[in-house]
């Protein structure tokens, strides 16, 4: 589902770890942008995904004095969020969580809410992304292609 078309909208912001407040700020920002960009029904899912990916970046991918970057982009066919951190050797992997485990469900949520997710290497670090397929009517009104219920 890769989309190489030119972004209609795009936003990038760097957050300083290890501040847990950054997760809240990132979640609110992407939810607002997704709604402003014409996809309010998707804003909640995107906010949860960004919260999970940023939480993972803070817990497992952050280094002192290194930023975590959140990028969101909208093209004619896809909405994509990316969270980049400096720890390329620490790759995310879903794992089973027991009923009483406090952690271990984040990537399962990401997989359930997004149409696609994955990891891409960077020169320094990695980028974890999630993506949603979109379709547009002839009138230009956006609709979700694969709404998860």
Q: What is the pLDDT of residue 129?
A: 98
The 10 Å Cβ neighbour count of residue 10 is 14
Q: pLDDT band at residue 7, thresholds of 50, 70 and 90?
A: very high
Mean pLDDT of the 54-65 span: 85
Contact 28, 35 (CB under 8 A): no
Average pLDDT over residues 39-54: 96
45: nearest Cα among 122, 128, 131: 131
Average pLDDT of the residues in 25-31: 96
HSE value, Cβ hemisphere, 13 Å, CA-based, for 13: 16
């Amino acid at each position: 589902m890769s989309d190489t078309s030119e972004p209609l909208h795009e936003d990038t912001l760097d957050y300083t770890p290890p501040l847990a407040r950054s997760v809240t700020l990132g979640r609110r920002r992407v939810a607002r942008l997704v709604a402003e960009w014409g996809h309010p029904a998707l804003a909640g899912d995107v906010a949860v995904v960004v919260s999970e990916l940023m939480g993972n970046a803070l817990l497992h991918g952050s280094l002192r004095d290194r930023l975590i970057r959140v990028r969101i982009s909208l093209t004619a066919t896809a909405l994509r969020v990316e969270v980049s951190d400096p720890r390329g050797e620490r790759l995310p992997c879903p794992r089973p969580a027991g009923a009483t485990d406090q952690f271990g469900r984040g990537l399962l949520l990401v997989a359930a809410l997004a149409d696609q997710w994955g990891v891409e290497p960077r020169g320094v670090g990695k980028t974890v992304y999630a993506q949603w397929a979109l379709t547009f009517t002839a009138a230009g009104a956006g609709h979700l292609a694969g709404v998860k219920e």
